[in-house]
Structure 1
Amino acid sequence: MEKKIKVILLLLVVLAVAGVATHMFLTPSTVETVGSKNVTDMIGRDIEIPASVSNVVATSPPMTTVLYMIAPDKLKAVNFQWTDDEMKYVPSQYQNYPVVGGWYGTQDGSYEEFIASEPDIVIESIDEGGDGDSSTVNERQEKFGTIPVIAVKDTTNVEKVSESITFMGEIVGAQDKAKELNDFNQKYLDIVHDRSSKLSDSDKVKVYYAQGDDGLQTTPSHSTHGQLIDLIGGENVADSVAQGNTTGGVQVSIEQVLSWNPDKIITNDPEFYAKVYSDSNWGKLDAVKNKEVYLSPQSPFKWFDRPVGANMIIGVPWTAKILYPDDYKDINMVDTTKEFYSNFYHFDLSDNQAKEILLDSGLKESNL
């Protein structure tokens, strides 16, 4: 009898061990994904989110851009469709994100489509001050139900974006990539801060930012859209028509632009760029006569504007090379472009591809 009891006990132990092993080895994903953590967002809301965030969407392009740069495999939707040109340097695995709209200039977001992308969290942009957007964040949270909405400070200013990039990296588990992006940005900010601070008023080049297919919309200084001109130390010729408007664009006439006669012109519009050198009116400008018109590279995000945000980080050295080529000869834009695209756009450019991007933007080969 005693021997039988020992055998039964031994069998029970074996079965128990086998049961634990079966649980460990047959259901690893369940064991690993169970759990949550509490975080405080950037307007002080305490929120419970999954311990490991795998799927994330954002309600505006600047936030989506950061997510694409630091955690593209966790991004599950974008706010607008890339054009064929913008798609040129997007890896194939990222070319088919669903388009869910958003709440920014177009206000075309679809809660149903956002929810259908099955995000673990939703990133919502707030103004730098934060408090004024708490009602919007609360409204989003109500509409998204149990999906946590995380408020993150506006990332549209390249000089102030680091805190938000760091925070988003912590939220989505991409701390190292977020630090790498901030380090790249700070490197060039330090360079241009130092050199622009030494410019006298007489040293500053006059710059016109041409928007629209006719080039006759622009933005004055202190606008997020033309911020790189200010940062590098250019003189934005449109200041005289600002009239307190530092956010939206202003309409001007060709006569007004002729009276300013800028040294350099920067544009985001390929249609305008394609015809500016053959237009007799624009041809009267020194910038056109001297072949000093530049088109922001477009792919996969524009370097200079539209959207404003972390995509403009690579635009800092590019704009510096345009405005003051002699002061920035030590920056190799081919190497800089390859580094940025490889690390943050997840696409390895050849030397020739990097040169093509830069030459197509108007930079001279001697200034690469």
Structure 2
Amino acid sequence: MSKIKSLAASLLVTATFLPAMALAGDVVTVTDITGREVEVEVPVEKVILGEGRQIYFTAALDGEDPFKRVVGWRDDFEKADNNGYHQYLEKYPEMADLPTFGGMKNGTFDVEQAVALQPDVIILNLDAKVATEEGGYIEKLGKVGIPVVYVDFREKPMENTEPSMRLIGKLYGKEDKAEEFIEFRASEIAKVTDKLAAQSDLAKPVVFVERAGGYSDDCCMSFGNENFGKMVEMAGGINMAAEIIPGTFGTVNPEQIIASDPDQIIVTGANWELYVPGGNWVGVGAGADPEVSADKLAGLMERPGFTGVKAVRDNNVHAIWHQFYNSPYQFVAVQQIAKWLHPELFADLDPEATFQELHDRFLPIDYRPGYFVSLNSSK
């Protein structure tokens, strides 16, 4: 604590003698996703990303140089999305030299390191809020003039993605770009929801979504009425776990899967080689080999709780990139799920083309297929 106070005093003294720096931008009051009002000088020039995967939204707004204002980030990107990390690394090798942090939730976030980087703002995910408050991080950082804001693409993404993108657009001085992204996202979601709303007698299949299938030997993590659970509902399905899991995340047991006998199964996956080397996870993601992904997906269906259920008998088993659950790109997942659940109704819908357009218009990297795979060759 003495080191923090000493460094804080040093920074405050420095700020006193550099008034021109404080006038470089406008100090505005922004409201974060929790309703907190926070004063921030915008546009921010130095940002600490509370999660490495926040590069997903940073790249969508700072497409010309996604790392220009990132002075530090959490060390999760390479582990959670190895394919995506290395695609960015190919184009931006300097990102490997960025200072990395542990997480707020596991108590490994280094306050002194953060203060030394002198960020204009630290952006945290909503799920870090409890740990951040318990650790007193906001107060500690506030004493040295470092504001903290919360965004959310995970807990309630369909409710919080738009305000989160607007908040980041305000911070980055990219408000027009944020609105362009929001408009694109909304129009692509409407291609699904408008068509479904026009159906008077839509038959909705029961869908079981397994979160990170094969990541561990336990079965089975899933989603309640939010995140991928909500995406299934938006895509014209019935989320099997909605009445079992009261919140966003939870588990169901194999017996519940057998009893529900779902019509469709969707497994989320990514390249988690650094988390679970040689694991049974399905490594969908940028540039993933579809044959390898399909083989691993088929292997997961041999576990107790899956063999013999209707979805497996009919080959209506699919895998989708896990990180749609934690990024503003989830509208692509809504389209793909709709196409799996209602192939005839959405025969003309092309989620791959949608993701391609997202890359072309907003992202600094090229689109590499591999984010989806199905055991049903007709889908």
TM-score (norm 2): 0.71
Give the structure with higher Rg (CA). 1
Match of 1:58 among 49, 59, 65: 49
The residue that corresponds to 1:312 in the other structure is: 330
The residue that corresponds to 1:75 in the other structure is: 70
Letter in 2 for 1:89: Q
8 Å CA contact 2:262, 2:309 repeated in 1: yes
d(CA) in 2 for partners of 1:192, 1:164: 23
SS at match of 1:196: helix
SS at match of 1:259: helix
The residue that corresponds to 2:26 in the other structure is: 37
8 Å CA contact 1:137, 1:151 repeated in 2: no
> Which deviates more from structure 2 when the two are superposed, residues 289-298 or residues 181-190?
289-298
d(CA) in 2 for partners of 1:177, 1:138: 34
d(CA) in 1 for partners of 2:26, 2:136: 20
Q: 1:168 to 1:155 in 2, by over 3 A?
A: same
Q: 1:112 to 1:345 in 2, by over 3 A?
A: farther
The residue that corresponds to 2:298 in the other structure is: 277
Q: 1:262 to 1:102 in 2, by over 3 A?
A: same
Match of 2:140 among 130, 139, 142: 142
Q: Does 1:289 align with 2:313?
A: yes
8 Å CA contact 2:298, 2:375 repeated in 1: no
d(CA) in 1 for partners of 2:37, 2:58: 21
Following superposition, the deviation at residue 40 of structure 1 comes to: 0.8
Following superposition, the deviation at residue 272 of structure 1 comes to: 4.6
8 Å CA contact 1:266, 1:294 repeated in 2: yes
Letter in 1 for 2:316: E
8 Å CA contact 1:59, 1:122 repeated in 2: yes
d(CA) in 2 for partners of 1:147, 1:280: 53
d(CA) in 1 for partners of 2:114, 2:201: 49
d(CA) in 2 for partners of 1:225, 1:111: 33
Letter in 2 for 1:87: Y
Letter in 2 for 1:115: V
Q: Within 5 Å, give how 1:69-108 maps onto structure 2.
A: 69-71=60-62, 72-73=66-67, 74-79=69-74, 80-83=76-79, 84-90=82-88, 91-93=90-92, 95-96=95-96, 97-104=98-105, 106-108=106-108
Q: Does 1:238 align with 2:230?
A: no
Structure 2 regions of 5+ residues with no counterpart?
Answer: 1-18, 271-279, 283-294
d(CA) in 2 for partners of 1:217, 1:260: 14
d(CA) in 1 for partners of 2:337, 2:165: 22
Q: 1:328 to 1:225 in 2, by over 3 A?
A: closer
Following superposition, the deviation at residue 77 of structure 1 comes to: 2.9
8 Å CA contact 2:77, 2:85 repeated in 1: no
8 Å CA contact 1:57, 1:64 repeated in 2: no
d(CA) in 1 for partners of 2:139, 2:331: 31
Q: 1:332 to 1:88 in 2, by over 3 A?
A: farther
SS at match of 2:365: coil
Structure 1 regions of 5+ residues with no counterpart?
Answer: 1-29
TM-score (norm 1): 0.73
d(CA) in 2 for partners of 1:108, 1:201: 52
d(CA) in 1 for partners of 2:241, 2:210: 10
Following superposition, the deviation at residue 208 of structure 1 comes to: 0.5
d(CA) in 1 for partners of 2:36, 2:281: 45
Q: Does 1:169 align with 2:176?
A: no
Letter in 2 for 1:250: T
Q: 1:256 to 1:320 in 2, by over 3 A?
A: same
RMSD: 3.5
Letter in 2 for 1:277: A
Q: 1:310 to 1:141 in 2, by over 3 A?
A: farther
Q: Within 5 Å, give how 1:168-187 maps onto structure 2.
A: 168-187=168-187
Letter in 1 for 2:104: W
8 Å CA contact 2:61, 2:169 repeated in 1: yes
Q: Within 5 Å, give how 1:324-343 maps onto structure 2.
A: 324-343=342-361
Greater RCO (Cα-Cα under 8 Å, separation 6 or more):
2
Letter in 1 for 2:28: V
Q: 1:333 to 1:239 in 2, by over 3 A?
A: closer
SS at match of 2:158: coil
Following superposition, the deviation at residue 220 of structure 1 comes to: 4.7
